[in-house]
Structure 1
Amino acid sequence: MSIEEVVRILKENGVKLAFFGGGEPTIDRELKPLIKQLKKEGISVWLITNGELLDKELVELVKGVTFSIKAFDDELHKRITGVSNYKVLENFKRFAKSGKIVAETVYVKGIVECDEILKIAKFIASLNPKIRFRIDPLVQNPIYEEVDECIRKVRRILPNTYRIRGTGKGEPPNLLYPEVSKIWEKHS
C-alpha cells in the first residue's frame, strides 16, 4: 500500500491520532516518510515500539512513544526476544527525558514477574521518575491480582504506574483493519 493510500484512508475516516504498533513499526523504511506526510495532513502518530531502532528524528516526529521493555536482565531479554536488550536500554536512556515516553512491560507468570518488573522500574526511575509505566497482564493468561499487587510495589519506586482497566461499557474503537485489508488484498 502506498503512503498516499494510507493517508487517504485515515483522512476519509476522520483519524486525528494514529497508533503505529504491532510487530515492530520502526523496521519499515517507509515509516518516517509516512509520519511526515500524516503530520502535514494534521494527523498525529503515537508509536508503539521496543525502542531498539528509535532515533531522534522519530521521537521529534511523533506525538508520543510507548516504549516496551521486555526485561531488564539481558539473559532473560535474550530468552524472550532472541536479542540483547543493550540497544533498547541505551535508547531508553537517550529519550527518557523527552516528555514523549510512556514505558510498558508485560507481566508473564514464570517469566517476567514482579521481581523483574521492579528492576525495570528502578531503571526507569533512575532516569526520569515522572515517566508513566504501564504493566500489562499477559492477554492469553491474565492474572490481574498478581499484576495489581506488583503495581502497588512498583508505585513505591515509580508513582505513575498503572494498567489498563476495561469497564466493558465503552464502544469498541473504530479500527481501520477491514478497510486496510481490502486494499492489501487488491495488491497481493
Structure 2
Amino acid sequence: MRLSARIEQSAPIPLAADLDCESGELLALVGPSGSGKSTILRCLAGLHRPAGGHVRCGEETWFDATRGIDLPPQRRRVGFVFQHYALFPHLTALANVMLALTDLPADQRAARARDWLARANLEGFDHRRPGELSGGQQQRVALARALAREPRVLLLDEPFSAVDRVTRRKLLNQLIDLRR
C-alpha cells in the first residue's frame, strides 16, 4: 500500500514536502530541530491540517486541500509513536495498549493487549504505570499500542532519541522484528 503526500504551508512552520513510500518500505525524515519533521508526521496522521497538498494511502485519499477532503485521524488507520510516547500516566501498560483496541469486543481487549506487550518483550509489565517503566520500556508500550491498531501506516517521531546507544540498537532490532 503506497503512501504519497504533498504537504504545503507557510506558517507556523514553512513546509513544502513531497513523500512517496511503497508498501513495506521504511522512510526516514532527517533534518535539523525545528525543520518540520514532527509537523509532517502530524499532517500524515491527520492531527494537523496543512494549508495545501494531499495525503493518499493506496487508493484512499486522506487529505486533499483542493477537493476539501480531510479524513479524521481515527479513519486513517495510522499508528503513531510520539516523541515523548504520549502514554497516559494514570493507566497501566496494559490499559494504555487496550486504548487502541476499541474496535474489539470488551472481553477480548485485555488478551490482545497482553499479546502485543509480549511481542514488545514486556511480559509481566502489564500492571506497571509509565512512571514505573524505563524510557525504553515506555517506548515499547507506545509501540505496542501503535501496532495494536494494525495500522496501514506506522509513524515514529524520533523513536530512539531518549535512549542510550545499546538500548537504541535493541529497540531498532525489536522494531524490525515487530515489522515482520
* TM-score range normalised by the length of the shorter chain: 0.3 to 0.5
Q: When the two structures are superposed, what TM-score results if normalisation uses the length of structure 2?
A: 0.33
Q: When the two structures are superposed, what TM-score results if normalisation uses the length of structure 1?
A: 0.32
Structure ranking higher on relative contact order (CA contacts 8 Å, 6+ apart): 2
Bigger Rg over Cα: 1
Higher helix proportion: 1
